[in-house]
Amino acid sequence: MTPAEGPRADVRLTVCIPCYSADGEAIAAAAQSAATQLPERSELIVVPSGPASAITAELALPAITRVTEPTEPPGLVHNFNRCLALAAGDLIHILHSDDTVAPGFYAIILRLAEQYPDAAMYATGFRSDRDVAASTHEAAPQRLRGADAARFLLADERHAAGNVVLTRRAVERLGAFREEYSFCPDEEAYLRWATLGGVAFDPVRLYVERTHAGQARLATWRHPDFVRTYVAARAAGARLFDERVGAIERASTERRLASVAVSVAQADPAVALALLTALEEERPESRRSRRVRLARLAARRRTVLRALLWRRRLKAALRRVRT
């Protein structure tokens, strides 16, 4: 498929799919899921980068799709920012190329935009593609501001980054993704945008996140340099708020890194310990949390590791039962 004509001036909603993985089937599925429900005054843009550049021109994509030239230089953050630069809409959704949106997602987003016109972002809940389909409302929509918005963006299990739709005014006033944080743009930028009007959220789970193979998903997290960059970026975003947000940021970062360390410890305890050490070196003034201490103990004691893995499987089973 060749690039179509340029963006229209009357676009209300832009859906951009940044592609840096060469999984053509997933890219096509993401595009199709959006195209089947886009309202009038919408555009759908596929922005290839890296390995995806070789395949996007050959995909059978919906007729509405505009495929751009590849991002140069390639890379996740450059790709995300190119999506923002190309988008003509008042509302901009960066739909991850390995996810999909369930029917009704964009109708809910537009309804939230009407109900909360001064919010900076709009979101629904998300679910795994392995979960039973769920499209009923779990609770009423709400506006999240300040520490509540930060808790949602940093720590809430209903937030998956791709489930958030941005407003153009937030990006224009507060800037795009900061490219110096090449490993982890999502939370830092979303925290900044949230200061402009918070997040309007409907918990109905209409964003569908693709389930990845466990260890493959942790490949980048195995590097202590990544951990240091990630922790620094999260802290930089949290400093835009008050100390309550700083506490949320610290707790959510520790929880995520401790979870990664426990997973990595199954195959390589030394790497797991190095990841936890990188976290502590980045924050020498912080007290070591119970969660981090337990993860460190699990990397050293197989009995503790087995107990934590059993607890994790039990929690996952209970979540599946609830859904």
- Please answer whether residues 107 and 13 qualify as being in contact, where contact means their C-beta atoms are separated by less than 8 angstroms: no
pLDDT attached to residue 114: 96
Section 187-215 average pLDDT: 85
Least confident of 15-29, 102-116, 226-240: 226-240
Find the length of the chain. 323
Section 36-59 average pLDDT: 89
> Closest Cα to residue 100, out of 25, 39, 193?
25
Residue 28's region, left for phi above 0, alpha for psi from -120 to 50, else beta, is alpha
Residue 323 has pLDDT above 70, yes or no: no
At 186-196, the pLDDT tens digits run: 677 899 999 99
Q: How much of the chain exceeds pLDDT 90, in percent?
A: 48
Section 36-47 average pLDDT: 94
**Measured distance CA(203)–CA(158) in Å, rounded:** 7
Phi–psi pair at 66, nearest 5 degrees: -110, 120
Q: Hey, how many other C-beta atoms are within 10 angstroms of the C-beta on 299?
A: 24
When pLDDT is cut at 50, 70 and 90, the band that residue 82 belongs to is very high
Spacing of C-alpha 23 from chain mean position:
18
Give the E-state strand segments of 59-213 in sequence order. 65-67, 91-94, 100-101, 121-128, 142-144, 164-167, 199-209
Q: What is the DSSP string of 2-33?
A: ---SPPPTT-SEEEEEEE-S--HHHHHHHHHH
DSSP structural state of residue 207: E
What domains lie within the chain, and their CATH numbers?
13-209 (3.90.550.10), 214-322 (no CATH)
At 237-279, the pLDDT tens digits run: 788 777 888 888 888 889 888 988 998 898 899 999 999 999 9
Section 173-191 average pLDDT: 78
Q: Hey, which residues does 205 pair with through a beta bridge?
A: 125
At 116-150, the pLDDT tens digits run: 999 999 999 998 877 766 566 668 999 999 999 99
When pLDDT is cut at 50, 70 and 90, the band that residue 7 belongs to is very low
pLDDT attached to residue 57: 78
- For the chain, the average pLDDT equals 86
pTM: predicted TM-score of the whole model, two decimal places: 0.85
pLDDT attached to residue 135: 60
pLDDT attached to residue 2: 38
pLDDT attached to residue 212: 59
Residue 4 has pLDDT above 80, yes or no: no
pLDDT attached to residue 136: 63
Section 162-177 average pLDDT: 94
Q: How much of the chain exceeds pLDDT 70, in percent?
A: 89
